[in-house]
Chains A and B, each alone.
Chain A
Amino acid sequence: MSEKYDVIVVGAGNAGLVAAATTAKNGLKTLLLEKHNLPGGCATSFRRGRFEFEPSLHELASVGDKEHPDTVYKIFDNLGATVDWRYEHNTFRAIVKGCDGYDVTLQAGIDPFCDAMEAAVPGCRASVHRLFEYYPKVTDALAYITRMKGKPNGLVMITKHADFMKIASHSVEDVMKSLGIPEKARNIINTYWGYLGVPTDELNCMHFLNMLYSYVVHGAAMPYKRSHELSLSLAKVILDAGGEIRYNSEATEFLYDGNGAVCGVVANGETLFAKEVISNVIPHNVFNMSDPKNIPETDLKLANARTFGISVSTIYLGLDCSMEELGIHDYTVFVMTDANPRKQYDDRKNKSLYIVNCLNKVIPDSSPEGTCTMFFTMPTFGCDVPKDLKPEDYKKYKNRLAEEYIEDYEKLMGIDMRSHIEEISIATPVTFARYLGTPEGTIYGYALSGWDNILGRISCEKDEYTIKGLSFCGGHAFRGDGYSSAYVTGDTIGHRVVNSIKGGN
């Protein structure tokens, strides 16, 4: 036995960092292993010339501020991690092209949001507001279910939480229709589906409502120094608490004891033992690093039953003109060819939906004076990458993709970006497969579609993840994807492991 830790966390993504910070801060001897030379996974930054780009974060939900701290703010605050938050007060601008199209900008805050909706779709205000009114009912019910450790009393549910039962078991579209929200208003609000990767006729309404509310109530927050600031602030907590972080240290094998419990990992050829292992790595990869005889049938079937979540293609532009000179006024713009989320999803290879962000709107000095950055995001699945694409044609493929989207946006906005491109970087699911190592380059773990929704994941977690000594956190875990969900799973799993070890179980 070379070394014994209380906890080994595999993967320093958002969830892994919070999990390791939580266990280290609670006095557990913690080792965090990361295969890259930087922490963060998606939450990082990269430099090209005089620009430092945000690679993945569009808007961090559930932050709030000192006076009104929301979940993410509290997680960082409790750990003692400091972040210089900057806020954006518009939620988004949605542009649907064509004669039936629209161009709507929505503000944060429930009332301003509803007012803007009313202006865009006269008569919809009351029904939209009603949607938000259900949010407290959802949180009450979830708190009750959590208190009951996932085994709520049926009678209490039916008498007290009937609305929750309806919202939690229907799609966004079903719930919105029943509330009488007109189609156009639904489409505008549901622009957000792109952040969850599942179109709203399939997306569970409870989950969507949580996300919608968290964006609308406080607006979105961004770290001043890109996501790298988030990750380094958490790394500092781990180190200050006596935890150890090893970069360039990819776990290559998960080790099991005679009773089928995980007891350690192999990284860089070194065998490392721990009482508990927390994996920020997706179960698919963990199972591929495990002796198959140790994978229980239930866990294996769950993995096989699931489909991978969405990935993205992205374009990062460093421009040698300011956003004002360019003629850009918004932080987040969604561009769509059809107002309907399902159509956007099905037709995604034809520029049916893309998101354009200009960070200078939120953080004016996020690039040198007289410059700005633009960040395009196109929802893409790993399986959308052409099967016959050869390595030698990949760069041309990327450039063609970028050129099409840049031209499309230039035409739409009547601006010239092309002649100002000082730096450019283009990523596809191949890039995310490279950096994250996930199957198909998924950034969202498992799709939250249909049956594999959040409530099912939370309710069934104990029955479905049966390997002792091993817990999972991250976008693939019980809370689904997105930075805030990842932080929540890291926090939950971190505390669970602290209790398990300190409780002597």
Chain B
Amino acid sequence: MKQNLRSLSRFDFLKMIPTRKAKIAEAPARAIPSTDSYKPNELANALHPKCQHLIVSEITEREKDVKSYSLTPDMARGTEKLAYFSAGQYLSVALEMGSVKLTRPYSISSSPRESLSGRYELTVKRVDNGLASQYILDNWKVGTEVLASAPHGEFTYEPLRDARQIVGLAGGSGITPFVSLAKAIADGCEDANLTLIYGSMTEKEIIFRNELENLAAKCSRFKLVNVLCDEKVDGCEKGFITAELIRKYAPASGDYSIFVCGPQVMYDFVDKEIEKLGLRKKFIRHELFGEYRYPEKNDDYPKDAVGKKFKLTITICGEKKTVECDANVTLLNAIEHNGIAAPTNCRSGVCGWCHSRLVSGNVYVPKEVDGRRMADLQYGYVHPCSTFPLSDVEIDVPPFRL
């Protein structure tokens, strides 16, 4: 027999609306609870605050032109607790220098554990022509108020992805995320082993030498190899970080992940050496590229743009401003140097925080720092932090947000 809906009452239909009305009528007319009161929201806020108001509580003079800053929550301005982070993450710090407004990402050099007792440490090294590093080193004092982002970044140990044995390759101030990682391994925040191969020019430029040697002495999971290119010193390797040197200290089984952080000149050299090791891509992790310089050195760069100056028209919330932008300056730097605060975090093309609409004009995006989504290319969106003008350009930029 063909079955139909005979067994169901159609009159239940007539009860639907009265039932609904009754349910609503019996509900209380009390105020809606705050969204922050729910557990997932509470955790989201704790891990990803919109910004963090910090205060410089202590300054440690390290090697020449290097200082570490202890930052603690500035309760007076509303930050009660620091956001927890993973070793290898950075804070984007907002800086105002006269008419210039910009941000800089600095890797946290303290252990995540220390953030639970209210301390982050940022370590800054003076860079030639480095506007931000010079400003910080010359101006931050104990008591300076610092506006920072929540922790960001993907240069972290991921146990489901990485080999448990990490071979860290650091150059110069690229040591900072590894200091955090070494401390996190030593204090049990991370369950991994780290062999750190750290390249410096000379012995006196090795940052964190004592801290790292002390950590290595008391924690068997952390090993330190200093490499000096400009001098021969006992206890240090002499030369560059070559494939041969990595092989010497990495497990012979080949079961390890390489983490690399340093200046671009180091990437240029070390990437070729890593290639010789024949590792799968998944075992090679790069920290952010950093501010892209000299786009004109690339083969695919249109040579007729070299040395030119263009007009850059920026619209933020309907307000327009036109500034000049040299062909070898990123759109973001041109914006910031004209006193306009723009959203930005990684400054290396990948995080997409500065995602902006290209209204008109031609641009060049070096492929190493092209972190755009596919549909962005179709619909004309750019990341100004990694974009160079090739003509007069007009862009629509969202307002500043940390």
Contacts from A to B (Cβ < 8 Å): 37-38, 45-50, 52, 126-127, 130, 134, 157-158, 162-163, 165-170, 174-175, 177-180, 225-226, 228-229, 231-233, 235-236, 239, 244, 246-249, 268, 270, 284-285, 287-288, 292, 297-298, 300-305, 311, 320, 382-383, 385-387, 389, 391-392, 394-395, 399, 402-403, 406, 418, 420-424, 428-434, 437-441, 451-453, 455-456, 459-460, 464
Q: With both chains docked as a complex, state the minimum distance between the C-beta of B81 and any C-beta of chain A, in angstroms.
A: 9
Q: With both chains docked as a complex, state the minimum distance between the C-beta of A27 and any C-beta of chain B, in angstroms.
A: 19
Q: A163-B5, A226-B375 known; A456 and B401 CB under 8 Å?
A: no
Residue contact B378 to A311, C-beta cutoff 8 Å = no
Q: With both chains docked as a complex, state the minimum distance between the C-beta of A7 and any C-beta of chain B, in angstroms.
A: 16
When the two chains form the complex, which single residue of A170, A300, A421, A431 contacts B32, counting CB atoms closer than 8 Å?
A300
Q: With both chains docked as a complex, state the minimum distance between the C-beta of A30 and any C-beta of chain B, in angstroms.
A: 13
Residue contact A232 to B375, C-beta cutoff 8 Å = yes
Residue contact A382 to B40, C-beta cutoff 8 Å = yes
Q: With both chains docked as a complex, state the minimum distance between the C-beta of B133 and any C-beta of chain A, in angstroms.
A: 27
Q: A residues within 8 A CB of B25? A: 301
Q: List 22 A-B contacts (CB under 8 A).
A: A38-B355, A52-B373, A130-B3, A165-B12, A166-B9, A178-B5, A179-B5, A233-B375, A249-B398, A288-B35, A300-B30, A301-B27, A301-B29, A392-B116, A406-B160, A418-B160, A423-B161, A438-B35, A439-B41, A440-B38, A441-B41, A451-B20
A308 vs B349: C-alpha distance when bound (angstroms)? 37
Q: Which residue of A lies closest to B150 (CB)?
A: A434
> In this complex, which of B13, B25, B84 has the most chain A Cβ atoms within 10 angstroms of its Cβ?
B13
Residue contact A399 to B43, C-beta cutoff 8 Å = no
Within 8 A of A (CB), among B1-24: 2-10, 12-13, 15-17, 19-21, 23-24
Please name the 8 residue pairs, one residue from A and one from B, whose CB atoms are nearest each other, closest first: A305-B27, A180-B3, A422-B282, A165-B13, A247-B398, A434-B44, A433-B40, A441-B40
Residue contact B17 to A456, C-beta cutoff 8 Å = yes
Q: B343: CB under 8 A from chain A? A: yes
> In this complex, which of B46, B398, B400 has the most chain A Cβ atoms within 10 angstroms of its Cβ?
B398
Residue contact A432 to B40, C-beta cutoff 8 Å = yes
Q: B residues within 8 A CB of A49? A: 281
Q: A229-B378, A302-B24, A440-B41 known; A399 and B35 CB under 8 Å?
A: no
Residue contact B32 to A288, C-beta cutoff 8 Å = yes
Q: A228-B376, A232-B376, A305-B24 known; A424 and B16 CB under 8 Å?
A: no
Q: B residues within 8 A CB of A167? A: 5
Q: A169-B12, A179-B5 known; A297 and B29 CB under 8 Å?
A: yes
Question: Is chain B's interface secondary structure helix, strand, loop, or mixed overall?
Answer: loop
Q: Which residue of A lies closest to B30 (CB)?
A: A304
Q: B317: CB under 8 A from chain A? A: yes
A162 vs B23: C-alpha distance when bound (angstroms)? 25
Q: With both chains docked as a complex, state the minimum distance between the C-beta of B258 and any C-beta of chain A, in angstroms.
A: 14
Contacts from B to A (Cβ < 8 Å): 2-10, 12-13, 15-17, 19-21, 23-35, 38-41, 43-44, 46-48, 83-84, 86, 112-113, 116, 154, 158-161, 280-282, 317-318, 343, 350, 352-355, 357, 371, 373-376, 378-379, 381, 398-401
A341 vs B250: C-alpha distance when bound (angstroms)? 51
A228 vs B357: C-alpha distance when bound (angstroms)? 14
Residue contact A460 to B17, C-beta cutoff 8 Å = yes
When the two chains form the complex, which single residue of B17, B28, B379 contacts A233, counting CB atoms closer than 8 Å?
B379
Residue contact B32 to A47, C-beta cutoff 8 Å = no
Residue contact B375 to A168, C-beta cutoff 8 Å = no
Residue contact A451 to B23, C-beta cutoff 8 Å = yes
Residue contact A178 to B35, C-beta cutoff 8 Å = no
Residue contact A47 to B373, C-beta cutoff 8 Å = yes
Q: B residues within 8 A CB of A45? A: 373-375
Residue contact A420 to B3, C-beta cutoff 8 Å = no
Q: A residues within 8 A CB of B282? A: 320, 420-423
